[in-house]
Amino acid sequence: MSNQNTELLKALEWRYATKIFDATKKIPAEVWGTLEKALVLTPTSYGLQPYQFLIVQDPAKRAALLPHSWGQKQVVDCSHFVVFTARTDMQEADVNKLTARISAVRSIPVASLNFYRDMMLSDVVNGPRGKIAHEWATRQCYIALGNLMTAAALLGVDACPMEGLVPAEYDKILQLEGTPYKTVVALALGYRAAGDKYASLAKVRYELSDLVKVV
């Protein structure tokens, strides 16, 4: 097995849902900058990126979120706390924004993207997925969540994904009400405390043959 394969599997074996963070240890700025870029590089359906990531570093806001997070101390003790928010709906303006960005980045006429633009409009704005836009955008958030967790593990940064929260209360505290975004899930990142007993527990997974089928 190559070194890259070994390092990836080693990192995934090492990671776990960290329950107790060392509040005194912070993620270095360079490492955090890399993780932010990893978030931005997450793939999404059509490339539409129907989300925003809120990095909650204000201690007062974190303290306010704590009682709406099932009292999980990771919220206040971690180095960086990321709240993943998804679009509530998709508008023609969102599609136009993406096609304009593609045009600028790839130096091509925006008119050359008309077919792609119409395809997106007929699906995520006016079509089937347009009717479930928030659910669709939520799925994209989970792709970003998994991407960030894997990137963090490769860089030796601990993480804990958190669905145990009250989205409506998060929306109030983070002033998302009246915006096109709603809270979906959160991720605490930092470094494990020496006393976290979960760090030494064996990882429990089914056999590969139970989960992976070749058809």
Question: What domain range is 108 assigned to?
Answer: 3-211
CATH assignment of the domain containing 54: 3.40.109.10
Say how far apart CA 123 and CA 6 lie, in whole Å.
Answer: 41
Say how far apart CA 10 and CA 210 lie, in whole Å.
Answer: 22
Per the confidence metrics, is the pTM higher than 0.95?
Answer: yes
Tally of domains in the chain? 1
| Buried/exposed 103-138: b ≥16 CB within 10 Å, e otherwise | eeeeeeeeeebeeebeebbebbbeeebbeebbebbb
Going residue by residue through the chain (215 aa), what tens digit of pLDDT does each one get? 679 999 999 999 999 999 999 999 999 999 999 999 999 999 999 999 999 999 999 999 999 999 999 999 999 999 999 999 999 999 999 999 999 999 999 999 999 999 999 999 999 999 999 999 999 999 999 999 999 999 999 999 999 999 999 999 999 999 999 999 999 999 999 999 999 999 999 999 999 999 999 99
**Contact by Cβ (8 Å): 174, 168:** no
Single-letter code of the amino acid located at 15: R
Residue 202 has what pLDDT?
Answer: 96
